[in-house]
Structure 1
Amino acid sequence: MAVTNKRFSLWVLAWPIFIELFLQFLLGAADTLMVSRISDQAVAVVGFSNQLFQALTTLFITVASGAGILIAQKLGSRKSEEARTIAIMAVSVSGIIGMGLSVVLYTMPGQIASWLKLPEHLMPLAETYISIVGGGMVLISLMAALSTAIRNTGNTKGPMYTAIGMNIVHVVLNYAFIFGAFGFPEWGLKGVAISTVICRLLAVMVLFVMFMHAFERTIRVRDLAKFSRRLFGDVLRIGWPLGVNMSCWVFTQLLIYTFLAMLGTNELAARTYLNTLESFCFMLGYSIALAVQIQIAHLFGAGRIKEAYGIAYRAMWIGLAVVTVNAMLIFLFGKQLLGLFTQNHEIIALGVSLLGLNLLLQPGKMVNMALGNALNAVGDTRFTMWSSLVSMWLIAMALAYWVGIELGWGLLGIYACMILDEYIRGTLALLRWRGRKFLLRAEQQNEREAQAMQGQMSSTGTGALAK
């Protein structure tokens, strides 16, 4: 048990996740920096397209996220075979969904960009980027399912090492394909798209090998056809509210990008650059939130309810300290950092004007992430779903449109509504966690099971004496 405890400790889980996220951040920053050498229009297209891809990932993240929580819970309750079956189903189903999305994005990039009101002069670049990167959506789905399954067994280092290799290859290929280095043609934005797909393909291959050996019994290719209706029902029970929750976030973000597209290319580019800087702010906090979700799910499955309750607050306070310091660093050096990406003074001015608001945004986001993930870990996913549905659509979307577009407050108004949304959801999650609804229910269930077991032992002992 001591080994298991050490493997599922907050720090052991969190630091590889942080390294992985940090490398993903570097990957995104390198992408943005290299694409900015093409044009600010290309940056706007990449930012816009990535929001579209994130929105579509909700169609398979439902399965991956629900499976991840159940894998940790099953391992905590020593049901390793059920955890293995759940992981196999998550990979198979996610791959099927991802393949369908790949077909749609590869064949209809122009129509999709047009539906989302992308400015006409950006359409040629968007068609190229969406068709290539979107055509590889099946790779994104498999990466999500594989890395989630591996991570929730307590092995957070595996995905981290994969991210390191992926980043190195991606930066080298970006340089080669964008600028025509090493004898390659100068492909520009098309080169970025091709580089992205190649790196994801390599990552899937590495993660699949790790996945095969992630459980006590090795997973074979023929096992991918394995399916349990009962266990898949459990995955969907936890996963579908997570999927709705995630879809609320990404679709509201996509709509916000659509609002920004209405404001102009500069606003769209400024938000893309600032999004890159913001990723650095909450990255370590998010890694802590992901780690505590795995840890709480494992403790909850093992019946260690009081430990599960307290660890959420510890993670929240650690995360708040970290993101506040990071946000302050971005505030102090933001202008210089934005200057690395663009020389457009209007875009830099727009970005700098939001850095002060970012100091308010990040603490609210951290509370929301830590306690929202804690609720998800114990299966209280419907509450986070409903709070997201109400707050995101009314505040982050409807109010943002009214304030930013109708009242003419622009980017600042939209950003203020994003802050309000994070604090409302964070406060609701805090109140729900303090109520301990699912934790108290689990404690009562454990007490009933313990009493039943004592009763069986008592009756067995009495029967033996009678004989």
Structure 2
Amino acid sequence: MVQTLRADESNNQILKNVFFLAMPAVIENFFQTILGFVDTLFVSKLGLIEVSAVGITNAILAVYFAVFMSIGVAANVLIAKFQGAGNKEKAKDIAQQSIILAIILGMLFGLISFILTEPLLRLMGVENSVLKPATIYFQIVATPSIFISLMFVMGSILRGNGDTKTPMKISIYINLIHIFLDYVFIFGFFFIPALGLEGAAYATVIARILGVIGLSFYLLKYNTIAANPLNWNINKQIQLNLITLGAPAAGERLVMRIGQVLYFGMIVALGTNTFAAHQIAGNIEVFSYMIGYGFATAATTLVSQRLGAGDVHGAKRYANISILSGAVFMTIFGISLFILGEWAAHFFTDDIKVVQQIKLALQIDAFIQPILAVVLILTGVYQAAENTKFPMYSTAIGIWIIRTAGVYLLGLHLGLGIAGVWIAIGLDNIFRAIWLGINYQNGSWLKHKKINESSKGIKSS
């Protein structure tokens, strides 16, 4: 399952290794995105109240996801590092400890969800008409948060071991099952009654349970974890390492969410049509993130393995080729956005004014795509070096200051509307690409690890 990486690899071999890990991750992200569209489509047939209930629940779960994903990032990086160093037993220890942490956090968030459902929903400003259905939906999908946390972490363990195909296959299977169960439970089928919104919730939970079962099977099959969890003991030092490494990664995602709240209100002030156009353009653009995150996943794993082997030069070669490959693919996607933006907009609305705004937003975004690739993949490279603070700082400054101020100045003050909004988004990404790029070029991405090219291992500072 773990790829054997050599110090004397050709650029073609490196490119092959990058694609070997990146493509399954891209496909996995694609199916998850498609599921989101189909899920929303089914629920929309029930009514706007139900759509709002799901939307508010997902907004809260986004915070949960940030925490669970951060543990996954930490597990991926540390496992890949020790695999690169040839220490398979240590990699297995990391895997087991990350599962223990996922179980603890999953149970904690599940308990919070069950006890504090109504306060959490009211905190989100839920309307009274939406409160009851949202409460039912939230409790069903969020109480068993342990399955969400385990899916994130188990998938990351496999990726850290150089296997992105298995998480991809599991994701495809459970997403197809999810879509089928969604239809059956929401609308009813033969002897199964129509459960409406509750049916959508049950379909989600069942799919996650099946995902955990599938991932567990492969973890045991590949001897990635010990077969008997009763023999596992909590290792406080490894738990601390996972939390220390994962916390800034979670912080970066939370910073992004908070930043969105800051500037979304300004976009709303531009008018309902403009806000709708912005949301639709974002839904179309999200497909580009599948590409960026796929190559970022490959970069994190492969760079971690090279650093684990003490090969900084090889790590940089993998990072450079990952960035270049991702930028090329996202540039091609950007060209598609520029040419086909108006055509894609018609799938969402027939309002000509809104369509024209979507087209304008996507044409501006087309030029941002290669820059966004650099940001996403460099973030993965920094994470591979266990330097998760730099990306968090750059996101905080980019989102809270540059993007928010840009939306106000360009969108509202100068009256550029949606064009101003997407130019501001571009300026934010340009800033982060430059920030991360400069520190990558001068070696600051490694400064917390005290690594130099003559070292034979990695010494913790």
TM-score category (smaller protein): 0.7 to 0.9
What aligned pairs does 1:45-64 form with structure 2 within 5 A after superposition?
Answer: 45-64=53-72
Superposed CA offset, 1:124-170 (max 9, x none): 55434333332333221111111101111011111111011111111
Alignment partners' CA distance in 2, 1:346 and 1:114: 35
Superposed CA offset, 1:232-265 (max 9, x none): 3332332222222222123333555566677787
Q: Aligned in 2, Cα 1:439/1:395: closer, same or farther, shift over 3 Å?
A: closer
Match of 1:446 in 2: 455
**Maintained 8 Å contact 1:29/1:276:** no
Superposed CA offset, 1:277-314 (max 9, x none): 22212312220111111000001101121111122222
Residue 329 in structure 1 maps to residue 336 in structure 2: yes
Residue 250 in structure 1 maps to residue 261 in structure 2: no
- AA aligned opposite 1:142: L
- AA aligned opposite 1:143: M
Offset at residue 99 of structure 1 (A): 2.0
Alignment partners' CA distance in 1, 2:243 and 2:267: 35
Match of 1:455 in 2: none
Residue 234 in structure 1 maps to residue 241 in structure 2: yes
Match of 1:317 in 2: 324
Offset at residue 417 of structure 1 (A): 3.2
Q: Aligned in 2, Cα 1:429/1:332: closer, same or farther, shift over 3 Å?
A: same
| SS, match of residue 4 in structure 1 | coil
Alignment partners' CA distance in 1, 2:127 and 2:338: 31
Match of 1:420 in 2: 427
Match of 1:4 in 2: 4
Offset at residue 370 of structure 1 (A): 1.2
Alignment partners' CA distance in 2, 1:122 and 1:343: 28
**Structure 2: segments with no counterpart, 5+ residues:** 6-12
Match of 1:85 in 2: 93
**Maintained 8 Å contact 1:80/1:215:** no
Alignment partners' CA distance in 1, 2:131 and 2:421: 25
Tell me the TM-score normalized by structure 2.
Answer: 0.85
Superposed CA offset, 1:83-136 (max 9, x none): 111111111112221222223334444432332335666545543433333233
Match of 1:462 in 2: none
**Structure 1: segments with no counterpart, 5+ residues:** 450-467
Q: Aligned in 2, Cα 1:115/1:350: closer, same or farther, shift over 3 Å?
A: farther
Residue 200 in structure 1 maps to residue 211 in structure 2: no
- Higher alpha-carbon Rg: 1
Bigger Cα displacement from structure 2, 345-354 vs 318-327: 345-354
Alignment partners' CA distance in 2, 1:366 and 1:156: 20
What aligned pairs does 1:76-225 form with structure 2 within 5 A after superposition?
Answer: 76-118=84-126, 122-215=130-223, 218-223=226-231, 225=232
- AA aligned opposite 2:309: A
Residue 280 in structure 1 maps to residue 280 in structure 2: no
Tell me the TM-score normalized by structure 1.
Answer: 0.84
Superposed CA offset, 1:312-366 (max 9, x none): 2221121112112223324433444344445666765654442223213432221
Which is helix-richer, 1 or 2?
A: 1
Alignment partners' CA distance in 2, 1:246 and 1:222: 34
- AA aligned opposite 1:375: Y
| Alignment: residue pair count | 448
**Maintained 8 Å contact 2:330/2:373:** yes
**Maintained 8 Å contact 2:371/2:433:** yes
Offset at residue 173 of structure 1 (A): 1.4
| SS, match of residue 307 in structure 2 | helix
- AA aligned opposite 1:380: N
Match of 2:32 in 1: 24
Q: Aligned in 2, Cα 1:172/1:261: closer, same or farther, shift over 3 Å?
A: farther
**Maintained 8 Å contact 1:20/1:163:** yes
Q: Aligned in 2, Cα 1:112/1:153: closer, same or farther, shift over 3 Å?
A: same
Alignment partners' CA distance in 1, 2:130 and 2:360: 26
Bigger Cα displacement from structure 2, 242-251 vs 395-404: 395-404
Q: Aligned in 2, Cα 1:354/1:31: closer, same or farther, shift over 3 Å?
A: farther
